[in-house]
Amino acid sequence: MKIFLRILIFSLFFCPYVYGADVKELYSDHFIIVSDKSIEEEYLYKVKDMAEDYYKVVTQEFNFIRNDPWLWKNRAKIFVAKDRQEYVEKYNCPSWSNACVDYQSKMIFTYPQQENFSSILSHELTHIIFREYVGKEQLPLWLDEGVAVYVASKYAKNEENFAALKQKVITGKYIKFSELNKITLDELKNKPRDYIDTFYLESFSVIEFLIKKWSRYNLDNFFKFLKEGYSVRDSLYKSYGIRTLEELEKQWNGFYQK
């Protein structure tokens, strides 16, 4: 699988965490980087600059005008553990993940020296900003992940493995939308790796389909209706004329069969 599926990022994951004296902090306009004392300053400055850049571009991605910018006490926190082991033990994130996020508290948890860190960070920031934009109502996981992978792939320049997806669509081995729409993070965690890879790629492909078949304008409308409080189903109908999940699946299927 291509890069972005290997860096699978588990998100929307609640990690209650209180930090102690063995950490240092780096402040920027919108972020506080909290790291283990052993982490080099140079690396932390890189994380800070990257986070500030993505804060701007991801916010613009949703044409989002905030009433409440991430300033002062409202800054987001990025926790950088000493290493992968500490990341898993201290933050209680899944052992196979590269980062996890508590979007309500605006906290991202990760560890240093990861390939494709820009993709990881843009993905997690998208989760926070997307939910901040549309509001905190329940959304199906595929929508959160699809949007996060879409934005990360746009800015971090990862490639998607559409050939693999196409093959799954042609042979009927993709995740049926009735299942895709219901699956929760806890359920996904217990699935085999291949299923998880398919879940992320397929979620992303639905967003990609909604842009390629129509336009980015329709997707923006879709998000706008979600923000106004409409359900996913009603927002889809109002911005695409698609009435049901089955209809979405049928059209999506036809698109990738080609």
For Zn ion, the binding residues (CB under 5 A) are: 9, 11, 145, 148
Q: Is the Cβ of residue 59 or residue 239 nearer to Zn ion in the bound state?
A: 59
**Helix or strand or coil: residue 127?**
helix
Minimum Å gap between C-beta 124 and Zn ion is 7
How many other C-beta atoms can be found within 10 angstroms of the C-beta atom of residue 196?
Answer: 17
SS3 annotation, 94-109: CCCCCEEEECCCCEEE
Q: Is the Cβ of residue 22 or residue 186 nearer to Zn ion in the bound state?
A: 186
Minimum Å gap between C-beta 199 and Zn ion is 11
Q: Is the Cβ of residue 11 or residue 28 nearer to Zn ion in the bound state?
A: 11
Report the first-to-last Cα separation within the chain, whole angstroms.
21
- Convert 76-115 to b/e letters by CB count within 10 Å (16 or more is b): bbbbbbbebeebbebbebeeebbbbbbbeebbbbbbbeee
Minimum Å gap between C-beta 189 and Zn ion is 12
* Measured distance CA(229)–CA(89) in Å, rounded: 38
Q: Kindly tell me the sign of the dihedral angle through the C-alpha atoms of 213, 64, 126, 155.
A: positive
Minimum Å gap between C-beta 218 and Zn ion is 23
Q: Is the Cβ of residue 108 or residue 210 nearer to Zn ion in the bound state?
A: 108
Minimum Å gap between C-beta 108 and Zn ion is 11
Minimum Å gap between C-beta 9 and Zn ion is 5
In Å, what is the CA distance from 241 to each residue of 116, 143, 218, 224, 258?
Answer: 37, 18, 10, 15, 22
Residue identified by tokens 């979620």 is 203
Q: Is the Cβ of residue 13 or residue 240 nearer to Zn ion in the bound state?
A: 13
Minimum Å gap between C-beta 123 and Zn ion is 6
- Helices 117-134 and 41-61, packing angle to 10 deg: 40
Looking at beta carbons, which residue is closest to Zn ion? 11
Q: Is the Cβ of residue 48 or residue 123 nearer to Zn ion in the bound state?
A: 123
Q: Is the Cβ of residue 11 or residue 205 nearer to Zn ion in the bound state?
A: 11
* Measured distance CA(2)–CA(6) in Å, rounded: 7
